[in-house]
Structure 1
Amino acid sequence: MDAGVAYFPTHDGLQPAEIARLVEERGHRWLMWAEHTHIPASRLTPWGGFEGAPPLPRKYVHTYDPFVASAYALAATTSLRVGTGIALVPQRDPITTAKEVASLDHLSGGRFDFGVGAGWNREEMENHGVNPKTRMRRMREHILAMRAIWTQHEASFAGDFVNFERIWSDPKPLQKPHPPILVGGNGPTVLDRVLEYGDAWMPNAFDVDTLLPRIAELRSRADRPIEVVVMGPPAEVGVLEAYENGGVDRVLFWLPSGRRSVVEAELDRVEAVMAELHDRPA
């Protein structure tokens, strides 16, 4: 099991190019960004979408656009894979997003990973003209439409939310058929979405007894290799060992949004835990 990191790239913390160089120098292979275009001041939807959630951390309001952050990070590195963890696909125009993903992948030499999700903040979606009740259907169409744009010289798509005929959009992504699509989410139907259009499942970390049976179900239903990438696991050797034994391919640790000393302290802790995990007898 490998490890990478994820980060809210805020304007008052390490800048995207700085943190990308730092994590690459320290031997990490993945850096993923969160996305929120804004946070509605009403705060009607609780953080994470469930009642009793703690107050929303400040970083959610102060985050750079993940595609802009990716451009800086990819330009500042040579081997690091960079991507979205996650992009709120229903809130984005699919033709524009397809162009952004393809451009980043092409310019970086094929180092972009496209983590996708439907989001949890209902007021944020509504401000983008998205009905929260149809966001999963909209996300499906957006992704299928983007795949058509990436893989067809003259793409067309007809759906309930996306419609276009015979468009040209180049360059195509360097990775074929397109950059990896990592489908985020922990809900009851997420595996259906992964199996239809994903290359990986990227759940938020939850308890081992719940996660491992779902991994087994995913692998039993899949007709192709599908990675499992757990977002935000605890830095605890016992939990990570159970994940590894249960078939998790990669974990992504959230780094604090802050200055270099704060980020490096957390990297030290993460790297020590992973070293202890890998040093255990087989």
Structure 2
Amino acid sequence: MKLAFPLPHMLRLKATVQPWEAAITGADQTRMVKRAEQLGYDMVAVPEHHIIPLEHVELSGPHYFHAASAMGYIAGTTETIRVNSCITILPLQNPIVQAKQLATIDWLSSGRVTVTFGVGWLEREFEILGVPFHERGKMADEYLEAMIALWTQEKPEFEGRYVSFKDVAFEPKPVQKPHVPIWLGGDADAALKRAARFASGWWPFLTKPQDIPARLDFIKSQPTFKGGPFEVMYGMSTSRVGEGHVVIDDPNARPGMSAQEIIDRLGWFQELGVTLSSVPIPPMADAEAYLDYAQWVMEEIKPKVG
């Protein structure tokens, strides 16, 4: 099983954040992702929200990056680790601009980008940004088609309700072929159908671990599913977060579990079809203590689940 590195202070979600994370700076994060790469972690993934209404701050926290900007920075300060998002809110930004951002990072990083798209759930965020919340699914489908056209066609053309273009050039193309790997985040049938049509990976959030096999079968049963390798990312702490970021007490997802408990949990995930996971950030004194823990995970956990 591949392991993602949970970079501290990318968000301050009440369900998962540790108090010490708030002191972590951008300079700390730069040093930490370089160390994660040296330790052999497979991926760093960046959460995204653009603006948080005050009524959601208690559960969601105020601190989020713009995913593509952070992915570009992380890719630029490393050499081998993959960068991903969790998630990029697809309908909230122009698809041509998003396609350019991701192609640029992929080109400059020699093909180390994956992107996890979702349609979003925070209606007030859409209202503030002037994007129709109830059209976000249709927008997402169209945006994905348009972005793939830009990434793969020599002379890109697309005609849709929300975006259209022809007689244009678009370079650089992504280094990865046919294009930047797309994963889809979400749990509704519509999200899974979108994953079957466009994606090579799925990032569930509200799906219970034991339900992953049935939902994965649903994806692969769709007539639009293209076959081939299909990734499933499910972090150990995921089940501590409910709808609207409410806190769920799940003793099987708590931080600071013993080595054997973590190995058993990740082994079970593998049996369910999960291909990539992460170990929760535990209570720590500071960044140095966490890096020691991250090394312990790679030395004591990774060889037994890899």
Is residue 2:232 matched to residue 1:224?
Answer: no
The 1:262/1:169 distance shift into structure 2, 3 A limit, reads: farther
TM-superposed deviation, 1:20: 1.7
Contact 2:210 2:272 in 1 (8 A): no
Instruction: Find 1:56's aligned residue among 51, 56, 59.
Output: 59
Instruction: Find 1:260's aligned residue among 265, 281, 287.
Output: 287
SS across alignment from 2:165:
strand
Residue-by-residue CA offset, 1:44-93 (whole Å, 9 max, x unaligned)? xx68xxxxxxx3243xx223322221222111111110121111110011
- Aligned pairs for 1:3-82 (under 5 A) are 3-7=3-7, 9=10, 13-15=24-26, 16-41=29-54, 43=55, 55-58=58-61, 61-82=62-83
Task: Name the structure 2 match of 1:278.
Answer: 305
Q: Could you tell me the TM-score, scaled by structure 2's length?
A: 0.78
The 1:265/1:111 distance shift into structure 2, 3 A limit, reads: same
Residue-by-residue CA offset, 1:80-122 (whole Å, 9 max, x unaligned)? 1012111111001111111100000000000011111111111
Task: Name the structure 1 match of 2:182.
Answer: 181
Contact 2:32 2:291 in 1 (8 A): no
TM-superposed deviation, 1:135: 0.8
Bigger strand share: 1
TM-superposed deviation, 1:277: 4.5
Contact 1:5 1:255 in 2 (8 A): no
Q: Could you tell me the TM-score, scaled by structure 1's length?
A: 0.84
> Which blocks of at least 5 consecutive residues in structure 2 are unaligned?
12-21, 239-252
Contact 1:155 1:165 in 2 (8 A): yes
SS across alignment from 2:179:
coil
TM-superposed deviation, 1:14: 4.1
The 1:256/1:124 distance shift into structure 2, 3 A limit, reads: farther
> Which blocks of at least 5 consecutive residues in structure 1 are unaligned?
48-54
TM-superposed deviation, 1:182: 0.8
Contact 1:237 1:273 in 2 (8 A): no
Moved over 6 A (4+): none
The 1:176/1:63 distance shift into structure 2, 3 A limit, reads: same
SS across alignment from 2:84:
strand
Measure the CA separation in 1 of the matches of 2:232 and 2:67.
Answer: 22
- Aligned pairs for 1:208-223 (under 5 A) are 208-221=209-222, 222-223=225-226
Bigger helix share: 2
Contact 2:266 2:305 in 1 (8 A): no
Measure the CA separation in 1 of the matches of 2:6 and 2:195.
Answer: 21
Is residue 2:286 matched to residue 1:242?
Answer: no
The 1:12/1:168 distance shift into structure 2, 3 A limit, reads: farther
Contact 2:212 2:273 in 1 (8 A): no
Task: Name the structure 2 match of 1:51.
Answer: none
Contact 1:184 1:203 in 2 (8 A): yes
